[in-house]
Amino acid sequence: MEYELVRIIAEGGMGIVYEALQKGVDEFQKQVAIKIIREEFSSIKEFRENFNGEARLVADLIHTNIVQTYHLGEVDGQYYMVMEYVSGDSMEEFFVHHLETDQYVPVELAVFIVSRLCRALAYAHTKRDRRGRPLGIVHRDVNPKNILLADEGAVKLTDFGIAKARNLMYNKEGEVIAGKDEYLSPEQARMEVTDHRADLFSCGIILSELLLGYHIFEERDPEETRKNILTMDLPDFTELRDEIDPELNAILHKALARPREDRYQSAEKMLTALELHLYRDGYGPTNEKMAIYLKDLYGKKGHKAAELWAKKFGTPRKEKALAKA
């Protein structure tokens, strides 16, 4: 299979993601994304096995709300993953665009985005292998950078790089903190063994952030952020934004419950609560309505969110939002 790299989409400490063209016979071309592990990490067994484990894990995760993986390859000792190309922005860029333009994300669209995220997690959490055995997948890194909003309105979860699953992924729970500090569950912050409910706490953080325009737990010091996740009193969200009603406030409090036993016990149960809230009047957001909103949001000049994020880099979202209030 021949690939032509077009441009860099994203760079991280261990890898680079490119937009690319997959080429075939008779001028066949398909737009794809290619994730390449950096050369210096390809030679390290631990990183190589984790990268390859991610590819094997997501190969059979075929769901409309999960970025699909097509192929794992290797050239001269450098490993790469061929994935679905999503034209659009990350949720982080979407959020920052609202912040920079002094707009709230509409409540119904914030709930819609997180409901689609729950759909992806409900599928992943209950996925079984070809012998019918539960894989026990926990994403452990549900954060706005790993949620893509396609131009067509679809919400897609990506990057299972630090996910854990039975016999597939590299895992050192109890020894290191896995995940992005601002989006950890309490059990992750305490370096405890996680289960699927950890991802639902992250969904609660993301929903509150979309609704309020700032992250309720985030501080400049990561240790203070983790402390807030563990001990900070949850606010009455109805007092922070008029459009948040008591039912949605209750959903947020249940998703953000510190004891796992008090949270939603499955992504499906959280999805049901969100959809009952969204469609209680018989109608509500769809992918098509989301696509129209995205087109109106960015206008004819195209996506500006990446540039806006660069301007904002290093400033905590809460500080920025409160400064504008």
Is 141 part of the annotated catalytic residue set? yes
Q: What pLDDT is stored for residue 307 in this prediction? A: 46
H or E segment at 87? none
* Among 89, 102, 141, 151, the one annotated catalytic: 141
17 and 160: one domain? Answer: no
The number of folded domains in the chain is: 2
> Which residues, including other chains, have CB under 8 Å from residue 168's CB and lie 6 or more apart?
53, 56, 57, 135
Question: Which of 69, 84, 99 corresponds to the end of one domain?
Answer: 84
**Do the beta carbons of residue 55 and residue 67 sit within 8 Å?**
no
For the domain that residue 319 is a member of, what is the CATH number? 1.10.510.10
Question: What's the pLDDT band for 27 if we cut at 50, 70, 90?
Answer: confident
pTM over 0.75: yes
The Cα–Cα gap between 214 and 323 comes to: 11
80 and 92 part of one domain: no
310 pLDDT band, cuts 50/70/90, is very low
Say yes or no to pLDDT of 41 above 70: yes
Same domain, 77 and 226: no
**pLDDT over 80 at 253, yes or no:** yes
Let me know whether 32 and 160 are in one domain.
Answer: no
Q: What is the tens place of the pLDDT at every residue in 103-118?
A: 999 999 999 999 999 9
Domain residue limits at 264: 88-324
**Neighbour-count burial of 219, counting CB atoms closer than 10 A to its CB (0-12 exposed, 13-18 middle, 19+ buried):** middle
pLDDT band with cut points at 50, 70 and 90 for residue 306: very low
In a shared domain, residues 60 and 170: no
Q: Are residues 246 and 124 in the same domain?
A: yes
According to DSSP, the residues that pair with 4 across neighbouring strands are: 21
Do 187 and 139 fall into the same domain? yes
Question: Do 200 and 230 have their domain in common?
Answer: yes
pLDDT digits 0-9 by tens, 181-213: 899 999 999 989 899 999 999 999 999 999 999
In this predicted structure, what is the pLDDT of residue 292? 94
Read off the CATH number of the domain in which 34 is found: 3.30.200.20
The residue that leads in pLDDT, 302 or 101, is 101
Q: How far apart are CA 277 and CA 281, in angstroms?
A: 9
Query: Last residue of some domain: 84, 99, 123?
Result: 84
Whether 62 and 158 share a structural domain: no
Which pLDDT score is estimated for 305?
41
pLDDT at 256 over 60: yes
| Alpha-carbon distances, residue 18 vs 12, 47, 80, 89, 226 (angstroms) | 12, 19, 10, 14, 33
pLDDT tens for 146-167 read 999 999 999 999 988 778 776 5
Are 248 and 267 members of one domain?
yes
Handedness of CA 61, 190, 93, 204 (dihedral sign): positive
Residue finishing a domain among 49, 84, 119: 84
318 and 175 housed in the same domain: yes
- Compute the residue count for the chain: 325
* 112-127: average pLDDT: 97
Q: Which residue has the tokens 């960015």?
A: 298
Residue by residue, what is the 3-state secondary structure of 125-169? HCCECCCCCECCCECCCCCHHHEEEECCCCEEECCCCCCECCCCC
pLDDT of 145 above 50: yes
Q: Give 259-297 pLDDT, tens digit per residue.
A: 999 999 999 999 999 999 999 988 899 999 999 999 998
| Same domain assignment for residues 264 and 218 | yes
